[in-house]
Chains A and B, each alone.
Chain A
């Protein structure tokens, strides 16, 4: 036995192959030369293998047992892509260029179906396939550079899709050469061609080239998702020649270039595999200049790539090579979490895992590969002796390993192991103290990242099962369970409580997945303190105590929720009627409480009778137009009626509301927090969660809120969303109208009330906004919600009224099961849900939209265009008033949802009142705009070529600008465009307002002759204007050298405006001779080059030819006209 070399550096990770997939390939009959594997893909559930025969094998990764076979007669499978967010979809490209999308119907246990076949790329070679990360959309790229998108309407989404009539296949873009790689993240598509990478915003259909420098050949690029916890933006890595990588931000700007050439000069790390002894050669290695044909995001922090020589894994953010290993002849690699499936050119597949060294050793131990484990330990002893690894790989374990080795065959190894054990570092003090502090806490275990996991029996060395410094989820959940089981088997002799443990791990698996999620969000260098502020962590802590509570309360709810109406969704076709019925019929969970209190009130029939009478009287009065159309009188009538209303629905029902003057006594903070957490837990636990928390609050009497002080936090306050009494439909209708009128006309407190002194003086002096909020809460169940929404926007300027109103709507919407379901699932699911369960004109839509917006932000707003006009732009403006840019995104989508020829008229229709024109314009030019330093120079003049900068909303801006408006508005628009440097708009306006001099001055500054060319060019129209332009050029040429252009050099930009170019235009417009004399007059004739003279010569010839043609045509015309006369 030879001495095992030691790898000098402390490599933390290694690639290991624990199993061979050859038997699988044999079982699939993919091992012959005729039929072999051509493509590979992997998802959470499946390993997908395409074959030369057109077959697609889907094998369940868990145990390699279940498998599906999908056959294609359209040629060999050239590309496969599994949908990452829904395991039920797979897209496949065949050698004939067809793209087939399959729905596997696994959930429904149905047969797989072809749901789409695209022949968009027929006859071409599909070189890349990629799924959208949120919706069912596949991007396809081929060898000529065309990229298309297939939007799928599946059975699952049929309803949602019916509203969007769109072509299923769209060409997204066409790039200059073969598509090398596609990647998609958050609405952006990354396309890498043979020459460069492109970034494409698929929603706004904007494109960016990444970087200036081209490269030639197969270079990949991939997204690198940002980490939520760090608030980090996703970035992009693009391969560059010579082992370089560009780091590019999400907007396509190159941030930096990483050079890995030197770093790659280290010798390759061995792949740990049972098939051969790991070899390490110190001597091998020289700096490598490589081209990375594809980049894959791997295991949270890493980027993987390969060449014909090996596999390379980088931590690009630290400009670090994690490792590289020699794995030859790789055709393609599919990656899921830390697992790699490599397809070799000979059709073989190797399954590698990226593991920390100690985890690798541990797994080898568990498999009883003692020899290999020992070799790995020795090879990586520099990594093993660190304290980090020590936690996993304790001295006991190594001792055990040593004992398993054959004394005679492996004496060398054993001695090396002995050395290693001697060199073990003591465990870090901080770590051990942390441990001891927990040891008292029976039900927690600590993970490496500092997250605590509940287990009731602590099991020392096995507890950090999942720890991995890359804090990636190393195993899928299923695999972890599998490992548990196998581990148990392996260690049965020494484990007394194996069965117990197994059971426990099974029962806790969902909780653990929670932990893993939260773990995945945390940046790995930060260790959390023991008591984490994260609600999800404390959630774990309280889980046990809560679960018993939940059980109890759910029982209680069960009895409360006897009435079936409660769950009745808003399904009625006639929305108005449905609304009425709903308001009058819904039984509120509060009802029982209120009825208890009614003992102290006069019988409700009496009160209602009085109210009915007062309402009838008011309604009669309203019939008189002299009352209705005389606001003062109308207010009087309403005021009078309101007093009766106040009396009927006296505030005593709401101790929280009437008790306005008492200052809020915050209950014990801890308890409060606990309450909060509880609520969240419950929200997540069940759809009834919110209701439960209401009940518990009520019962505990914990939360007493002052509406005034709590306006900022209206959720703490409560709304009356359903009537305390049964009210007849007709009365309900009248009440709704009158209440809404009160709100609209700002009649918020009754005369009675203020006279009677029920309310203290402070409330009289309250601003109408606060009164309105209070009014809304009190009478929410009476309001005509649609109209109230309009009134609020018209009458009240304050956002708090709106917020209060929306809160009320939310409260009301909670009774709809769809509302709670919205909490889960992605945006399309949410929209689909809305489609199915909420009528398109329901006033509650706003509540749903707000919910979606809170969860998905801008993309939810964009989706809201579907609900236009039920949800209008002014609603959206209110909704996202803290993020005006998002309103723009909505507006942009809304306008563009119409056919293009209707954009102006539709936008004009939306622009009511007129003042919005300027507001929206201001918004549009100030968002997603280039910085003013790049549009305006130090003297306030336009920078050259700055009109070519891309503006996020340039189309919208131009639409706004081109709409007819009055002179002052147009002038203001001009000023706005100028001050923000939106030159295309500025020039358009200048010319519209006949400020031609100004326009030409700025065109000269912009220095792009194409502004003056073509059919839409701005060309001088009179001799005077030509003279002006020439004069401007003269003065320009006397100025110091032109300012540098935006991207550094002027040479690659558009043709500049200089005397020569303008002279040519002049020559075309006026004829060469007249142009020449004008140029002489301006003293510019000398500056012209030979090219000008030559061009003039040719122009002259052209003119003569035109004249000759005119002669010919004249003759024909003349003849024709004579013949007509004859």
Chain B
């Protein structure tokens, strides 16, 4: 990800107490010492001796009182001041060259208070040269004056130093207390002291004896070890501190006991030392930054583009987020710690910039989450932080975008404002917190647990879809996953209004995954076949209402988006055409009478037929079934006509017989049609009993004869007997049966129980042969079962159909 480091102003210092003084000091003296308290609220500035008053300023951001101190000219001013790094409540330690140490702290009452004042070198004659504090210890390097009694041999002043430490106890209200003194190292050269969080580094200074200026010492109090390292050689040896000897080492003995340090070497040419979380950073005069790790090993971090001009120029080093920051004069260079790559070089508007150490981990930080761990820069202009931001436009869409896009719609619906919300607005406006929260959750940040519990199911679904996408893209043909996706989505859509976008999505699913979609619809509509081959549904009417809704008149659906009913019919027509007629029939039953009131709309069978294709191109059998099943006279007549055309007499007759007594007109219409056929040829003769049954009771014999006559073919020949090969003519014997029927006015007794009863319970007649449709080429089966109708490759066996329907 191409990232850009940006400088953000955190504060223009006006929210600090003593802001004016602070600015003045920062702008004035470049050599001013700046330190930051562990909680990040306090800033400490110390001017070198000889500066105008005040020399020490502690400024606080937010509530609190500043501390200002000055020492008259001539009086010694402090050598160093620092916050006790591991304390939440700020405490200061001031150390003078003479060995005087003062501990200041903020108590319960506002304002700074002197907690303790002590002498580090009580016997006098010693000068403190460097001081630092590591966890629980105050460490200093002191120079012993020559001629002090405890020195048996006359040593050169170069090796008359020693490194001592005092424990720093922090207890309760009394605050901080310095304990007794221990000596770590005797007879050592002058060392600078740098403390990191765990270790103390003893580094050579410009005044260190050149024979030992190539090495540095690392003291790990927690491990009880001293490591001597020569970074230029890649050499390090560690020695355990011997508790018997009181943790004291003679520098000469220490070095003599380790191989490799006594041979002639060049002194280290270090410009700046700086502690970091990984160890000690050192910048040499050529611009190379190295890291001395806690175990003594040294590695090069990177090489700065600009080398320090001289020893005098200021430089500051720090690390954050795996990045090394280096301020040299007015340039800020950012290097990747792991690859040494230059990430960014910025020229600052001022060269008086101080890098502040990062707040201690675990400290409560009032600053925003984003700046946590970021690098902070202090100048007279204000307090800045360097952080990484992704430049706009380069970023690819992510989960975050989805959230904000959806949030737009979500809030727009609830908004009273007329203006259109934009994702950008939501992103940077803190008014709506939910999208922010959700976006961060989706990016892996943990929300409060209560929220997480409520969102758990959705989050799981969301992630599993994400996984599914990855699988899909990887070419994984895991149909099951997609089926589930389709099922969930269909179920969801059927709960919505199923208009607009939802309908479009509904269509998409049916196109992409028809089987799964139909399966989900089945479940939503709770379709169940009964023994008679009809469908039943227990779904609530409003679902059916949604499904059966007619397309709004005049509004054509664009892009071939079909209304739900059409979509379902189409899908069924493709997948399992034999269930289409029962489905349409069921739909007609579900439709109910009240719905027609919405406006004149096409009957459902017409809609279903429309889906099947243009007139004449539809699968005939299916069309017939639909027409017959529609219950509409016109449709039934049309069907019967078609049957007659196809000479399927029995079906035509049955269609007529199937109509119950409620539509006598239609029945007689059918009878008439068939009678006409009867009159014309002899192919119906075999079905005469059925025709008789169809004969309406109200028809009088003469009417019948009349009808027959109109349809009788003209007597062409005069011969009494038909010519050989020609069809025999209608005989009285045949007509008699019909006439008897009418004359007797008798009809088969017994109530008609159901529409199809006679078909179902007549063992002599096989059930209607299902239409062959496109599979007509299949060998005719003796048992025209359903399996013949399962489209191959759809993965639905006969058993499946049975279960679903």
Contact = CB atoms under 8 A, between A and B. Distances in A.
Contacts of A964: 299, 301, 337-340
Interface stretch (A137-145, A229-237, A628-636, A814-822): A628-636
Interface centre among A795, A1014, A1113, A1120 (most CB of B within 10 A): A1113
A909 B299 contact: no
Interface centre among A737, A911, A1101 (most CB of B within 10 A): A1101
Given A993-B341, A1117-B451, A965 B262 contact: no
B397 interface: yes
B346 interface: no
A1073 to B, nearest CB: 10
B302 interface: yes
B262 A634 contact: yes
A1113 B462 CA distance: 10
Contacts of B303: 966-968
Contacts of A1097: 508, 511-512
B686 interface: no
Given A1110-B438, A1121-B434, A909 B297 contact: yes
A1121 B433 contact: yes
Nearest to A1117: B434
B727 interface: no
B512 A912 contact: no
Interface centre among B296, B299, B409 (most CB of A within 10 A): B299
B468 interface: yes
Nearest to A1022: B394
B406 A912 contact: no
B458 A1112 contact: yes
B324 to A, nearest CB: 11
B512 A741 contact: no
A998 interface: no
Given A1101-B486, A1114-B407, A1121-B434, A631 B264 contact: yes
Interface string B246-278: 000001100110011011100000000000000
Contact of A1109 (B235, B260, B432, B462): B462
Contact of A970 (B155, B159, B340, B505): B340
Contact of A741 (B262, B296, B472, B508): B262
A698 to B, nearest CB: 35
A908 B159 CA distance: 34
B473 A1067 contact: yes
A1098 interface: yes
B472 A1098 contact: yes
Contacts of A629: 159, 189, 209, 211-212, 255, 262
Given A626-B158, A1111-B406, A913 B233 contact: yes
Contact of A1117 (B236, B264, B455): B455
Given A625-B187, A1013-B474, A1099 B469 contact: yes
Interface centre among A629, A746, A1055, A1111 (most CB of B within 10 A): A629
Interface centre among B212, B260, B342, B432 (most CB of A within 10 A): B260
Interface in A1100-1122: 1100-1118, 1120-1121
B297 A1098 contact: no
B396 A1102 contact: no
Nearest to B482: A1098
A1101 B339 contact: no
A425 interface: no
A1068 B438 CA distance: 21
Contacts of A741: 262
A737 B512 CA distance: 85
Interface in A1067-1083: 1067-1071, 1074
Interface in A993-1014: 993-994, 1009, 1013-1014
Nearest to A1107: B406
A571 B656 CA distance: 116
B383 interface: no
B708 interface: no
Contacts of A1107: 402, 405-406
Interface centre among B397, B461, B472, B511 (most CB of A within 10 A): B472
Name A's interface SS.
Answer: helix
A1118 B262 contact: no
A1099 B402 CA distance: 14
B434 A1118 contact: yes
A628 B255 CA distance: 9
A993 B338 CA distance: 10
A622 B253 CA distance: 10
B338 A992 contact: yes
A790 interface: yes
Contacts of B394: 1022-1024
A1069 B651 CA distance: 59
Contacts of A1074: 397
A1011 to B, nearest CB: 12
Contacts of B337: 964
A703 interface: no
Nearest to A1013: B474
Nearest to B477: A1091
A811 interface: no
A144 B254 CA distance: 62
Contact of A744 (B263, B407, B441): B263
A1065 interface: yes
B403 to A, nearest CB: 6
B234 A913 contact: yes
A1071 B397 contact: yes
Contact of A795 (B263, B395, B482): B263
Interface string A610-630: 000000000000111110111
A501 interface: no
A624 B151 CA distance: 13
Interface centre among A634, A909, A1021, A1110 (most CB of B within 10 A): A1110
B450 interface: yes
A134 B189 CA distance: 56
A859 interface: no
B297 A911 contact: yes
B492 A1108 contact: yes
Contact of B340 (A625, A968, A1064): A968
B340 A969 contact: yes
A486 interface: no
Contacts of B263: 631, 744-746, 794-795
A787 interface: yes
B434 A1114 contact: yes
A659 interface: no
Interface centre among A631, A994, A1111, A1118 (most CB of B within 10 A): A1118
Given A1064-B473, A1098-B472, A1105-B489, A625 B155 contact: yes
A737 B259 CA distance: 11
Contacts of A1118: 432, 434
Nearest to B261: A629
B298 interface: yes
Interface of A: 622-626, 628-632, 634, 737, 740-741, 744-746, 787, 790-791, 794-795, 908-909, 911-915, 964-970, 992-994, 1009, 1013-1014, 1021-1024, 1055, 1061, 1064-1065, 1067-1071, 1074, 1094-1095, 1097-1118, 1120-1121
16 contacts: A625-B189, A626-B156, A626-B159, A794-B233, A794-B259, A915-B234, A964-B339, A964-B340, A965-B299, A967-B340, A1023-B396, A1101-B489, A1101-B509, A1101-B513, A1110-B438, A1114-B406
Task: Please name the 3 residue pairs, one residue from A and one from B, whose CB atoms are nearest each other, closest first.
Answer: A913-B234, A629-B211, A966-B340
Given A912-B296, A967-B342, A1069-B396, 6 more contacts: A625-B251, A970-B340, A1064-B475, A1098-B472, A1114-B435, A1117-B434
Interface of B: 1-2, 153, 155-156, 158-159, 187, 189, 209, 211-212, 233-236, 251-252, 255-256, 259-260, 262-264, 293, 295-303, 337-342, 394-397, 402-403, 405-407, 409-410, 432-435, 437-438, 441, 450-451, 454-455, 458-459, 461-462, 465-466, 468-470, 472-475, 482, 485-486, 488-489, 492, 505, 508-509, 511-513
